[in-house]
Amino acid sequence: MLIRADLSCKNDESALIIYIYALNHTLSMSPNFATYTKFHTPENAQYLIGLLQHLEVPYTLEHEVNQLDPIYIGGNVDPMFVLKIPGDRFNDVNALMADLAKKDMAQPGFEHYLQSYTTAELQEIVREPATWNAYDVQVATTLLSDKTDGPIPVAVNAVENEGPVKIQAPWIVLGYLGCLLGLFLFYWGLSGFFAGLAIIQAKKTLKNGTVIKMFTEQGRKHGRIMMALGLACVILGFVLLNMRLT
Q: In this predicted structure, what is the pLDDT of residue 226?
A: 92
Identify the band that residue 48 occupies on the pLDDT scale cut at 50, 70 and 90: confident
pTM of the predicted model, to two decimals? 0.50
Which residues are CB-neighbours of 228 under 8 A, at least 6 positions away?
A: none
Q: Where are the domains of the chain?
A: 33-148, 169-245
| Torsion angle of the four alpha carbons 126, 128, 130, 135, in this order, in degrees rounded to the nearest 10 | -20
Q: In this predicted structure, what is the pLDDT of residue 78?
A: 59
Cβ atoms 59, 93 nearer than 8 A: no
Residue 224 pLDDT > 90, yes or no? Answer: yes
Cβ atoms 140, 117 nearer than 8 A: yes
Identify the band that residue 8 occupies on the pLDDT scale cut at 50, 70 and 90: very low
For the chain, what percent of residues have pLDDT higher than 70?
75
- What is the distance between the alpha carbons of residues 166 and 216, in angstroms, rounded to a whole number? 6
Residue 77 pLDDT > 60, yes or no? Answer: no
Question: What residue type is assigned to position 233 of the chain?
Answer: C
Q: Where are the beta strands (DSSP E) in the chain?
A: 33-39, 60-63, 81-86, 203-205, 211-213
| Count of CB atoms situated within 10 Å of the CB of 76 | 14
